[in-house]
Chains A and B, each alone.
Chain A
């Protein structure tokens, strides 16, 4: 079945890079997403990558996709305290319909 897995916690120092990892199971996924959730708020779309790409960069964010290993990562350069949040990885499975599968989220702690 479809599944998305992420580690639950990550702690980094301010100014360092953060790398949040995700694995997924559906090899036919078309789009893979990263969302950010701040406390008590909805999910904010950060970026997405189409499955025929292996890298996407957007300012401080770099997404790497290893389709062979079904591994997705989000790198945040120069991490700031405002980056502290929960980051969700999600895949749009190519099984028809509009189902998007979300991971449990990685809570990023940024220490000043």
Chain B
């Protein structure tokens, strides 16, 4: 069964703590993305990666970090510098091939991060 998995489903962060959200895909997609969703708002892009060992900042990268050491995995770390981390975090992937809908993004089930 091909797809994108995110874990955990719920994550609690204490003040001053870094936490890491996992995203794995077995779709053989080159491109991966992290979005943040707040109530009543659209998705905002945090980071994206077009290929292994390369990633780019999105619109709201401050307070977040990522790595892309493997094609299948794109973990997101929410650092203590992110002052308002409570949100729903969505990971997505796409083939990365231009044209023929190849940039269509497919989403994981999301991780809800709450601050204690």
A residues lining the B interface (CB < 8 Å): 4, 8, 30-31, 33, 35, 40-45, 48, 50, 88, 92, 97-100, 102-105
Contacts and interface: CB of A to CB of B under 8 A. Distances in A.
Contacts of B16: none
Contacts of B41: 104
Interface residues of B, number: 28
Interface string B28-53: 00010101000011110100101000
Contacts, number: 55
A72 B109 CA distance: 26
B107 A100 contact: no
Given A43-B90, A98-B103, A104 B31 contact: no
Given A44-B107, A99-B45, A31 B101 contact: yes
A33 B90 contact: no
Contacts of B109: 41-42
Interface of B: 4, 6, 31, 33, 35, 40-43, 45, 48, 50, 56, 58, 90, 92, 94, 96, 101, 103-110, 112
Contact of B31 (A8, A30, A35, A98): A98
A78 to B, nearest CB: 26
A35 B37 CA distance: 14
Nearest to B98: A30
14 contacts: A31-B101, A33-B104, A40-B110, A42-B90, A42-B108, A43-B43, A43-B90, A43-B107, A44-B107, A48-B104, A88-B42, A92-B103, A97-B56, A98-B103
Contacts of B58: 99
B81 to A, nearest CB: 24
A31 B105 CA distance: 11
Contacts of A31: 101, 103-104
B90 A98 contact: no
